[in-house]
Amino acid sequence: MLYLIGLGLSDETDITVKGLAIVKKASRVYLEAYTSILLVDQSVLEAYYGRPIVVADREMVESNSDEILRDAATVDVAFCVVGDPFGATTHTDLVLRARELGIAVATVPNASIMSGIGAAGLQLYNFGQTVSMVFFTETWRPASFYDRIRENRSIGLHTLVLLDIKVKEQSLENMARGRRIYEPPRYMSVGTCAQQMLEIEEEKGEGVYGPDSLAIGAARVGGKTEKFVAGTLKELCDADDALGPPLHSLVLLGRRTHELEHDYVRQFAVNRETWDRIWKADYEGKN
């Protein structure tokens, strides 16, 4: 059987009891290592699980899934995913491939950023569509996320923005020359995301979220050093030092914000007077 096992959000102890039992007895254990990361090294996981782990990068999962599925019809294979296997990033392609080969599939769910973001104090049923923000380049500034954010905003819902990570990425030159040389890992910060959001807003000019719109920066959600910083998008452009190391996420506040949400999030505000003033003018009584 192929098992898709969620590892949770933080460290080696976040795996469920059920998931750990499967990992310990599986013939092979893979760690999906390109859509997100845990806050501990692979060696820590291997020591805790008592098993060697094969790191499955994007190339292996998308182009060499036959290796992952090898003999899975007769032995147990564990495919471990940070967060939940069907949370922010799904692996339905791997499941469909397994079923085509007659391989049974089972899933062990776990916490993901989609549920963990509730620790910021916002009610999960007040969230709309989740979007992703990628690193801009000089020639590539995709803005498809903007339309979804506008739709969420129009009905007063919060937007969770998942931030880009670059793991085992090649430069265009190395890719063109066929050189298997990879760039150092990069993880987008809340500051970069907020700045890019404002740049696209300036280009679009539709007033969806501007410099004075309220938002929440989140770092290492679910971990021991979990951190939240709330403020305007302009303030969050300079919040990286306060938030600390990756992984980061951003929440754009919707106008359906309840008073209890406001009171909870206020404790994270960069400037509580500014937060209160903008909330009273733009959010209070609009839920």
Residues in the annotated binding site: 9, 84, 87, 112-113, 163, 221, 248
CB within 8 A of 92, min separation 6: which ones?
86
Q: Return the DSSP state at 83.
A: B
With beta carbons less than 8 A apart as the criterion, state whether 15 and 4 touch.
Answer: no
Residue 7, token pair as written in the block: 């590892």
By CB atoms closer than 10 A (0-12, 13-18, 19+), residue 210 is: middle
Alpha carbon distance 169, 59 (integer Å)? 10
Question: Quick check: helix, strand or coil at residue 167?
Answer: coil
Helices (H), the chain: 17-25, 42-49, 58-63, 65-69, 92-100, 113-116, 145-154, 172-176, 190-204, 233-236, 240-243, 259-266, 272-282
With beta carbons less than 8 A apart as the criterion, state whether 182 and 168 touch.
Answer: yes
Residues annotated within the binding site for S-adenosyl-L-methionine are 9, 84, 87, 112-113, 163, 221, 248
At 285, which amino acid appears?
G
Residue 236, token pair as written in the block: 């969050």
Alpha carbon distance 67, 77 (integer Å)? 11
Which residue is it, tokens 């380049």? 137
Nearest to 133 by CA among 121, 141, 125: 141
